[in-house]
Structure 1
């Protein structure tokens, strides 16, 4: 077990649902590597809602008290921050924390759009020396996806794939009651906010073999539910550099229900549905259950903390990997807004 003297002292930036239900308990649970020291939110009330649900005593910072964000950044004992804020607000906090010498793990997506992400990554790579910036994508830490990706390597060449992610966001769902999700200023609404998870899962399954990277896509988009602007549905055709084609159907406003990726290979296929992995190999069907650790956030936070203690970052948490996820969603939205024209990818040459 790592001694407490070598643990990294961490602050959580954000007082929303995801910060409270996922990030805060995950930080506290990663006690081999992290020591939870402070919470910042716009309001003291939301910051206290985090503190009240964890056992560790933490200091509170907010914009409606004397102890504000700038005061938190001045603390030399806090070495790292987890940024769990609305999509449109994160970049400012990422930059401020890095400039203050803090390591940063920011919630996906990497930025609101490709151009902002490229500028932020370029600034980080050229101007920041010392503190690290990584991006949280919890689907890369789902055990069921890790297992499926490993098994795919034994089934030969990938020859096709299809994904169906169908559900409906209830109008009064707790996440939809947050203003920034109900009236999004970021592109794509829930298709960006949740869609990056699904394409991250696809990229993990396709792996890093030459030719498996997505080269282009075309999409049609639609808004089914009037309370889910600007669009809540997309049907996408994707092509890899090797010429393999696949389809991806995602809707947050449909009566259909599905959550699956199926990857066809020369010697069989694999379907993953949450924790259920079905493998067809030599005509034999095997169904296994691979339990995930909650949403994947606990192992994600633990891996980040371990990396900080050991002085290294994991390739799947580098911002360039998150940019590759973002690119697929943005091109999907752009293609849909232009009548389904094919668009080429430019940022897929990264590790998953």
Structure 2
């Protein structure tokens, strides 16, 4: 595990074009050559290759698709000059493709979630650990986990910047209509997996929380609902969660707001014994999208009234680039960020699954991850 001859991207959808290609370009010489792209359709493979060329990737990646047996996925995986693949395919399809890549001797970076459900994730992880882990790197691409902003907030909390964490809240409310570019992808229009957008997007929120909070969440009690029929099976989860006896919080996830203007901004708020912090997305002129951390602390000086001290920290949103770089470093045997562990990513799926199925009852998250039910 010391070199990477070349890579392929399996999947040619929106996120592959709009996030993966720019990340590879940003990494420059630190990224291996993108030699091939696979999609089920020839048209989408061509579109991705054209987008790669337009982004400055040279030579243009070779095109593979299911319409030509001589240029299908098996043909791509048989190439000896491709040592790693990035899997960006529909949620229910990914586990079978990951298994094919392992069997072909390829390192794998697979987009979140790790699997459609906890039981499926356990099966895939066990197979990897037993058959392939010794020789192959597998990471789950969860860009929120890799974002410098969330990681910086976690470091501030770990350093005691706001004292002992007492409680928190995470609010994500989105409006998804039938014209949304992500909704219009066929596999999302008729999802054959639990939670719909809640699984696909909700794991991001859970990953951000686990990066920031000082201890893992242990129990969840929640309710799920469907507010727009076209977003079935569910579009909203409200949950009360706790980390043992240490702290507790509220997580609100919804893709079912009725208007594009939502009643609340997406935000994370973490309250400690000596202060609090928030993390929000923002656009900064000349910088682009950032994660903005606002910290307020109560400072006590003997003989004087308590003062509030404010600090603002901004970090660029480069999570995809960071997760790619870490994956490539892992293959090369270099030290990497502590991200992408499949078992950790399984915990994110467990949170969403618990929120969908709780019905108000308390669910032990660690037990769900260990036995799948």
When normalised by structure 2's length, the TM-score is 0.86
Q: 2:339 aligns with which of 289, 312, 316?
A: 316
Q: 2:20 aligns with which of 17, 20, 23?
A: 23
- Between the two proteins, the alignment pairs up a number of residues equal to 338
What is the match of residue 100 of structure 1? 104
Is 1:237 aligned to residue 240 of structure 2?
Answer: yes
Is 1:82 aligned to residue 86 of structure 2?
Answer: yes
Secondary structure (helix, strand or coil) at the match of 2:268 reads: strand
Q: 1:297 aligns with which of 316, 320, 329?
A: 320
What is the match of residue 48 of structure 1? 46
Change over 3 Å in CA distance of 1:347–1:53 after alignment to 2: farther
What is the match of residue 342 of structure 1? 362
Q: Are the equivalent residues in 2 in contact too, given 1:269–1:280 (CA < 8 A)? A: yes
Q: Are the equivalent residues in 2 in contact too, given 1:104–1:134 (CA < 8 A)? A: yes
The gaps in structure 2 that reach 5 residues or longer are 282-290, 299-306
Deviation at 1:292, TM superposition (A): 2.2
Determine the C-alpha separation between the residues in 2 that align with 1:221 and 1:285.
39
- For residues 79-228 of structure 1, the aligned pairs below 5 Å read 79-128=83-132, 129-153=134-158, 154=160, 155-207=162-214, 212-228=215-231
Q: Are the equivalent residues in 1 in contact too, given 2:88–2:110 (CA < 8 A)? A: yes
Quick check: 175-184 or 52-61, which moved more? 52-61
What is the match of residue 326 of structure 1? 349
Deviation at 1:293, TM superposition (A): 3.2
Q: 1:286 aligns with which of 293, 310, 318?
A: 310
Determine the C-alpha separation between the residues in 2 that align with 1:124 and 1:347.
21
Change over 3 Å in CA distance of 1:349–1:221 after alignment to 2: closer
Q: Are the equivalent residues in 2 in contact too, given 1:39–1:61 (CA < 8 A)? A: yes
Deviation at 1:285, TM superposition (A): 4.4
Deviation at 1:312, TM superposition (A): 6.1
Secondary structure (helix, strand or coil) at the match of 1:139 reads: helix
Change over 3 Å in CA distance of 1:348–1:114 after alignment to 2: closer
Secondary structure (helix, strand or coil) at the match of 2:8 reads: strand
Deviation at 1:157, TM superposition (A): 1.3
Secondary structure (helix, strand or coil) at the match of 1:214 reads: coil
Secondary structure (helix, strand or coil) at the match of 2:123 reads: helix
Quick check: 306-315 or 43-52, which moved more? 306-315
Determine the C-alpha separation between the residues in 2 that align with 1:323 and 1:349.
7
Determine the C-alpha separation between the residues in 2 that align with 1:347 and 1:8.
41
What is the match of residue 301 of structure 2? none
Post-superposition, which runs of at least 4 consecutive aligned residues in structure 1 deviate over 3 A?
5-8, 311-315, 347-350
Is 1:9 aligned to residue 6 of structure 2?
Answer: yes
The gaps in structure 1 that reach 5 residues or longer are none
What is the match of residue 246 of structure 1? 249
When normalised by structure 1's length, the TM-score is 0.91
Deviations 1:39-97 (A, max 9, x none): 01101111111111123221111111231110111111100000000000000110110
Whose Rg is larger? 2
Secondary structure (helix, strand or coil) at the match of 1:219 reads: strand
Secondary structure (helix, strand or coil) at the match of 2:33 reads: strand
What is the match of residue 271 of structure 1? 278
Change over 3 Å in CA distance of 1:19–1:318 after alignment to 2: same
Deviation at 1:245, TM superposition (A): 1.4
